[in-house]
Amino acid sequence: MLSKELEVTLNQAFTNAHSKRHEFITVEHLLLALLDNETVKPILQACACDCSELRGELTQFIDETVSLIPEGLQRETQPTLGFQRVLQRAVFHVQASDKKEVTGANLFIALFSEQDSHAVYILSKYKISRLDVVNYLAHGITKVDQDSDEDNTDSHGSDNEGGSESTESSPLEKYATNLNEEARLGRIDPLIGREQEVAHYSGALSKTKKQPLVSRRIWCR
């Protein structure tokens, strides 16, 4: 019923909560564990989410609000009603859509329906909505317009701090040509025999805000 990777994730959530003597395993614990789930990771990337920050905020929230099992008492860490509801919703959804296995992604979606949940609050704070997630899973529509999955993982790995900036500049990169970059790569033909014009333009550039453009006309002889 549950897929292998999901079982691993749930197990991880339980052992983590139990080792810290948390009285309950909550929806927030579940979300935290899901961040490491293989089926959830690509969703978060598609939503352009800064995982490390999200993880930090979740951990902080759990540490602040959790009730601990008092020292000296031997008690099991119990799942909260909310946790059980999320699981149940995911299972029902999978049954209704005629699939065999419940994946981490199913749980992630089911989590959004929890009322007044801090996990959902934190997710919306990072601008991740249920619609974003189901859009991605159903049609592969991402919030970042990046062409291939490779691009996605690359940019995610390299820019941990400037994540949001790169997603904002991506439409520019997509629809416009960076002429400086082109010139640097040698894809623009060099200007030959136009010393006078170049001097004139650089003079104009230093005085006004207007940007003259040298368009190429072919003079061949």
Partner 1 sequence: MSDIDPNHDDDGVAVQETSPKLKRPPLYKVVLLNDDFTPMDFVVEILTDHFNMNEDRATQVMLQVHTQGIGVCGIFTKDVAETKVHLVNEYSRENHHPLMCEFEEA
Residues found near partner 1 in the complex (CB under 8 A) = 24, 26-27, 65, 67-68, 70, 78, 80-83, 114-118, 120-121, 124-125
Provide the minimum distance between the beta carbon of 199 and partner 1 in the complex, in angstroms, as a whole number: 43
* Tokens 């801090």 found at: 118
Closer of 8 and 69 to partner 1 (Cβ): 69
In the chain, where does DSSP find H-type helix? 4-19, 27-34, 41-46, 51-65, 81-96, 104-111, 118-125, 130-139, 149-158, 163-175, 179-184, 195-207
Which one, 51 or 69, has the nearer CB to partner 1? 69
Of 64 and 150, CB closest to partner 1: 64
CB of 116 to partner 1, least distance (A): 4
Check if the beta carbon of residue 73 is closer than 8 Å to that of residue 67.
no
CB of 118 to partner 1, least distance (A): 6
Nearer to partner 1, 26 or 103 (CB): 26
> Please, how many CA atoms are within 13 Å of residue 60, restricted to the half-sphere of its CB?
7
The least distance separating partner 1 from the CB of residue 205, rounded to whole angstroms, comes to 33
Closer Cβ to partner 1, 22 or 156, answer by number: 22
Distance CA 202, CA 206 (A): 6
Place of tokens 């981490």: 104
- Is 68 in a helix, a strand, or coil? strand
Q: Of 34, 64, 28, nearest to 51 (Cα)?
A: 34
d(CA 32, CA 174): 34
Q: Rounded to the nearest whole angstrom, what is the least distance from the CB of residue 89 to partner 1 in the complex?
A: 14
CB of 26 to partner 1, least distance (A): 5
- Closer to partner 1 by Cβ: residue 80 or 166: 80
Which CB sits closer to partner 1, 39 or 117?
A: 117
Whole-number Cα distances in Å, 120 to 8, 80, 85, 162: 23, 16, 14, 24
Residues with Cβ < 8 Å from 48, sequence gap 6 or more? 142, 143, 144, 163, 164, 167
Could you tell me the smallest distance in angstroms from the CB atom of residue 10 to partner 1? 17
